[in-house]
């Protein structure tokens, strides 16, 4: 009887007796393998794939279980996917990452040993499984190698090495070989404790922009003077007189006599004298430039130059120095700030260079000094002996004359009384007034740069590439350009360049 008081039926309790009868033998171990790995493999295969414990692969490249050799035929095979399961996106076997975009600053390098860039034979999936579809890599142009001896062109350079248009790398020297002297200063000039205002810096750099012009100016001590501890004989002075469109910019450079004491003082003194004279007459000079009165400009600037050099010779007499030693060559530019006026005026005495870079070619426009033939040409030769009206012109001996149309200003300085007449400059006066065009570059320089620019084609070619495109250089870039050295040329260098917009 059961706990509920029911009488048992014999045939209904047979299953209970068969299960728990004492005569029934135990089932014993299962005929198949029953380890932890086997159970995990069976469960993982049922849910459609997985990873074996401890990072092992569920199956090797042959498709059999990882421990099939140890268990033999008792291993549980991995069942295939059921029909209603979506196809797996996991590629079978080991794979590599697809190539992506290159980081900035890197480029693709072709293998040098000829090894293939694709997957090796042990990375190819088994033939019975189709490889999973991988996203295609982004399209990149292959890196091309230029022929030997040819620089890579911008079209074949990788993006990280592309050259910005208008830029050319700077160089230290050009020509047959490196110069003899070191590129950097070696010795400082000797200083006098009682004349510390006589010290001259190794380098002077200046610049400005007015209207359509951009000015860059620099003066650098030569390699020879840097090595020997001598002061820079070249002097550079830049000044603006007036305001607004009526302003006038003066660039003056002078070079003292070679191998003479006090040459740097003579150069600085003549620059100050000419700047003072131009400053006092800047209103009249600016009007003459805008009105294109070249005849008045030439005669007036000739007179100002004579009187400035005359004061320099008078100063030499006061110091008891030979005037032939206490002298300097003087070269100047007058640049009106009015954007509507593109006339650029050069005048001076002494050696140097006046160049113009136009259309990618250098033009030497230094006024040539020669015997005048026929009528005088503006910018060449000296003043005519008489006016068209027949009036004879006398030599300027420093005597104050009344103000007339040829006199730029009534306040011109005169040599101090008691020193006698002042001789005219030994070197001929040079003058040129030219009209600039957009894109021109006008270069005024001392002999230290003019001589190698005329004699060394590589220097002219280098400056052409540096200055033809890309606009005016920065101050430091202009200084680097003026310092490009040439073997055999070690003098001071002074240059002023004007870029026209």
Predicted structure pTM score:
0.60
Residue 307 near residue 314 (C-beta atoms within 8 A): no
**pLDDT score for 102:** 55
Over range 483-491, report the average pLDDT.
96
Nearest alpha carbon to residue 423 among 491, 329, 330, 323: 323
Q: Which helix (H) or strand (E) holds 270?
A: helix 263-280
Residue 277 near residue 307 (C-beta atoms within 8 A): yes
How many CB atoms sit inside 10 A of residue 1's CB?
7
Q: What is the DSSP string of 283-327?
A: HHHHHHHHTT-HHHHHHHHHHHHHHHHHHHHHHHHHHT--TTTS-
State in Å, rounded, how far the first CA of the chain is from the last one. 121
pLDDT mean across residues, the chain = 75
Residue 313 near residue 415 (C-beta atoms within 8 A): no
Q: Name the DSSP class of 487.
A: T
pLDDT band at 434 (very low <50, low <70, confident <90, very high): very high
Cα–Cα distance, 473 to 467 (Å, whole number) = 7
Output the CA torsion sign for 385, 305, 294, 496.
positive
Over range 270-284, report the average pLDDT.
97
Nearest alpha carbon to residue 65 among 54, 55, 76: 76
**pLDDT score for 38:** 72
Looking up tokens 């074949």, which residue turns up?
156
Residue 224 has pLDDT above 80, yes or no: yes
Looking up tokens 């309790």, which residue turns up?
13
Residue 266 has pLDDT above 60, yes or no: yes
Select the more confidently predicted residue: 429 or 33: 429
**pLDDT score for 376:** 42
- Phi/psi for 224 (5° steps) reads -65, -45
Beta-strand ranges (E) seen in 159-241 are 173-174, 203-210, 213-220, 234-241
Apex CA 335: angle with CA 334 and CA 341, to 5°? 130
> Model confidence over 134-169: pLDDT tens digits?
455 445 444 444 454 444 443 444 443 333 445 689
Q: Which helix (H) or strand (E) holds 452?
A: helix 447-455
> Model confidence over 48-89: pLDDT tens digits?
554 444 444 434 443 444 444 444 444 445 555 555 556 666
- Residues in Cβ contact with 183 at an 8 Å cutoff, skipping those fewer than 6 apart: 172, 173, 223, 483, 485
**pLDDT score for 165:** 42
**pLDDT score for 125:** 46
Share of the chain above pLDDT 90, in %: 51
Residue 214 near residue 442 (C-beta atoms within 8 A): no
pLDDT band at 446 (very low <50, low <70, confident <90, very high): very high
């Amino acid at each position: 009887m059961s706990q509920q008081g029911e009488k048992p039926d014999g045939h209904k309790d047979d299953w209970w007796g068969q299960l728990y009868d004492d005569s029934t033998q135990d089932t014993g171990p299962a005929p198949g393998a029953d380890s932890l790995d086997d159970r995990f493999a069976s469960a993982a295969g049922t849910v459609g794939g997985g990873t074996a414990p401890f990072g092992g692969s569920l199956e090797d490249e042959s498709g059999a279980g990882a421990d099939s050799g140890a268990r033999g035929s008792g291993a549980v095979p991995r069942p295939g996917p059921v029909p209603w399961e979506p196809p797996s996106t996991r590629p079978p076997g080991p794979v590599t990452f697809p190539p992506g975009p290159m980081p900035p600053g890197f480029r693709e390098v072709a293998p040098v040993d000829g090894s293939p860039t694709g997957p090796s034979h042990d990375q190819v999936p088994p033939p019975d499984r189709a490889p999973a579809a991988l996203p295609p890599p982004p399209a990149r142009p292959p890196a091309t190698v230029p022929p030997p001896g040819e620089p890579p062109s911008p079209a074949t350079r990788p993006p990280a090495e592309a050259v910005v248009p208008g830029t050319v790398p700077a160089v230290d020297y050009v020509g047959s070989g490196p110069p003899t002297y070191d590129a950097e200063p070696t010795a400082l000039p000797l200083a006098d404790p009682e004349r510390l205002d006589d010290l001259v810096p190794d380098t002077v750099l200046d610049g400005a922009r007015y209207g359509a012009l951009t000015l860059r100016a620099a003066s650098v001590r030569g390699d020879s003077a840097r090595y020997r501890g001598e002061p820079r004989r070249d002097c550079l002075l830049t000044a603006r007189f007036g305001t607004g469109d009526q302003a006038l910019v003066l660039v003056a450079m002078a070079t003292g006599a070679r191998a003479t004491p006090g040459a740097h003082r003579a150069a600085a003194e003549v620059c100050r004298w000419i700047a003072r004279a131009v400053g006092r007459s800047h209103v009249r000079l600016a009007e003459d430039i805008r009105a294109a009165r070249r005849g008045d400009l030439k005669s007036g600037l000739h007179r100002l130059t004579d009187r400035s050099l005359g004061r320099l010779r008078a100063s030499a007499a006061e110091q008891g120095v030979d005037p032939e030693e206490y002298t300097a060559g003087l070269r100047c530019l007058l640049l009106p700030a009015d954007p509507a006026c593109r006339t650029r005026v050069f005048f001076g005495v002494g050696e140097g260079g006046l160049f113009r870079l136009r259309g990618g070619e250098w033009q030497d426009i230094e006024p040539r000094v020669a015997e005048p033939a026929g009528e005088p040409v503006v910018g060449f030769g000296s003043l005519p002996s008489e006016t068209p009206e027949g009036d004879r012109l006398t030599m300027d001996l420093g005597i104050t004359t009344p103000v007339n149309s040829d006199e730029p200003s009534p306040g011109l300085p005169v040599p101090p009384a008691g020193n006698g007449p002042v001789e005219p400059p030994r070197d001929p006066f040079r003058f040129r007034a030219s009209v600039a065009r957009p894109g021109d570059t006008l270069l005024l320089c001392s002999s230290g740069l003019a001589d190698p620019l005329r004699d060394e084609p590589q220097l002219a070619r280098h400056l052409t590439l540096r200055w033809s495109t890309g606009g005016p250089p920065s101050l430091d870039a202009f200084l680097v350009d003026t310092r490009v050295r040439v073997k055999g040329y070690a003098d001071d260098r002074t240059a002023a360049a004007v870029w026209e917009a």
